Structure 1
Amino acid sequence: MIQLLPHQQSVLEQTKKFHRVAYYLDMGLGKTFLGSEKMDQLETPYALLVCQKSKVEDWVAHFREHYDYNVIIFNNQPISEITEHSVLIINYDLVWRRPELLKLSHFTLILDESSCIKNETRRRSKFILKLHPDNVILLSGTPTGGKYEELWSQCKLLGWTISKRLFWKQFIVTKILDVGGCPITVVIGYKNVDRLKAKLRQYGAVFMKTEDVLTLPETIDQIVNVPIAKEYRQFKNERIIEINSKTLIGDTPLTRLLYLRQLAGMYNENKIERLTELFQATGDRLIVFYNFDLEYGIIKRLCEKTDKRVSMVNGKLKDLSAYEQCSDSVTLVQYQAGAMGLNLQLANKVIYFSLPLSSELFEQSKKRIHRIGQTKTCFNYYLLTNGSIEYKILEALKQRKDFTDRLFEEICHD
């Protein structure tokens, strides 16, 4: 039987009368345990849990360890052959390709990282909104720090039938940017937040931040300055460069941003040297966040060169054996695959080889080590190339803004 912490017991008590709930808890407060316990209390014959691909096996292990449900990684099994007392687990990229799930009835729907349906026009979101569950459990940490514009599709699942137009009018502050004669709407803030949260609480939502219930160890951010390479300056001025037998052409704002990031990162030998120095400076576990597949190859070869055992979490691989078994291992985590949901609190040091453009992924990545169970001071090392775009990206992320929101304001007019 699961032993819940006091704040988790309190959340379940608050939502005892609701059969549609949203647990908007900061990363590390135990949404997995809350979601499964609420599901267990609802006692429906079936449950359908939708999560990110990298989290499927974690959820399977969780249910098999703590409950006696028939746990099924759903693919093409006939709905009619699935017995009661079953939990079907499927990832967001696959769920909309399984129309037979529309036949499922008398079930509880659980969405892990429910922000994945923020865009109601995507096929995954359209499909999920067509399901007919008896109960709904939404799990996400994103709304605790803003991002309220992502909640509208979740409001529908909770039963609040407010229109998107009215939702944005009442709670979201926007402005229009003129980009080459094309108007683009960007979010610049929020309004009536207390009223929004109060209304959502009426529909079974709970908002909870870490500092409301726990005192976690201190977090220390440290910028590691990296000398700029001449190739970065050349590309910035000329928007074209030949490097490593490749021609990089920044003929649009987006490609220019992409190559500026890569020239500040994986194409900058100075950054590789700084990362080597960090590897050599400690015998502790290290978590390294990165963006691109090419970065993964470079960092993995560096680990081999410095005799570091490697674990990895990316879109193709998930292997945490070195992390679990070796106190001096390096775990390489690609943002899209591992910034959300991973428990990595055996480590207390994170190195940001490159930065994401998403503030959601950035905030979630910091919580992989700074969460329940962590007993040591946590360190975040940001490898930033001097005079590069990386400083502007970090500035935006610290303001909890996606850098893409500022892309046309700052990069196009640079």
Structure 2
Amino acid sequence: MSLTVSKKRRKILRNSVLYDFQKNLLNKIDPNYLIAADTGTGKTMMAIHHYIRHSNGEPLLIVAPPQKINEGGWDREIDFVSNHYGIDIEYESLSYGVLARRWKEFAGWFVVYDECHYIKNPTSQRGKAGIKLSQASTNFLLLSATPSSNGWEDTIAYMIMFGHYKNKTQFLKKHAVYEDKFFGNRRFKAVVDFTEKDKLNKLYQSFSIRLAKEECLDLPGIHHEPIEFKKSTEYNKIHKDRVLEVDGELELYDTVQKLQYGLRYYANQKDKLKYTEMLAEGTEENIIIFYNFTKEKDELVKLMKKLKKTVYEVSGQKFSLPNEEEKEGLKNSVTIVQYQAGAAAIELQYANIVIIYTPTYSYQNHDQALGRAYRNGQTKKVTVYEYVTKGSVEEAVYAALKRKEDFTEELFKKEMRL
């Protein structure tokens, strides 16, 4: 970061684009801290401003899952801040996958760990590297909606990073309660509880702050967040040649209807699924996913079962939703809804995260879909993630929906210059 930032730092934070709840949070925390904030509360924007406030000219390193780096959200937010305030921010992004190999290159940088639960295991290569990098950084910030979803064992790496324990062995020796367990004929000791929980709670609260979406009074009731992907090689192949090899056989896209299907389905299934996995792993909030194609649904159901989510489905093949008793206190669920089957006439206020996996051509279905969660009876702020593949037909679809229009065959032909 240039000297310009240092000179403008106080003015920027005084006249920032942040919501009041974000300013209040940043005013409460130290340079090294853990922000445990719900999805949709603007953790990225808060982190950038936290860096501006506490850096002394050193560059910023963002350590994040590859899905977030590839999607480009950090790049867009930093670019926005830089342009808005007229400053230069020197930064680099690093995937957790290469953290163990490359962390030494960034000694002396200001480090932000996005989705910090990726390094919660202090004995993994990734966790060890995360701890070492935090110790070699000027300052570090941890971000996650669910930093310790499995209890005190998930906090050990953070406790080490903030200097309360030397290693996992010391933590367990002081706090772990063991019990004999059996695996076949083999006996082993397993951690079943922890002692001095009041002390642990005080330690944890000394470096962490919790922010629930419903506490953000000035946050809009519904927040739209576009998630951008690059076109897949399959999309480019169909767009150029009107043909694609699928399971060893050539599929032709030689009619308007077939071409519409091919370009929509193959926009970028791989990265959409990976990003959805990352989102679902990072929250226990209830999620709704709107999809178009049966193949999408099958992959999503398989993924959510792997993540041990409670899965509900509304489609032409199945209708399953929680009953009124189940809705009370429901969490960690995913409701997968096909537009045609469930965009209207169902109430899903128990969920407050909505994923538009593939946009519908129908403005009515799109509007009705958003109203499934954002309606009377909703007690939480709603975040809508709109998946859009840049440079693809999806951009034209969203443009029509924002104009409150259907995406028609005529618009498709115009977009494709047919």
For the aligned pair, the TM-score class normalised by the smaller chain equals 0.3 to 0.5
Between structure 1 and structure 2, the one with the greater Rg is: 2
Q: TM-score, normalised by structure 2?
A: 0.45
Q: TM-score, normalised by structure 1?
A: 0.45
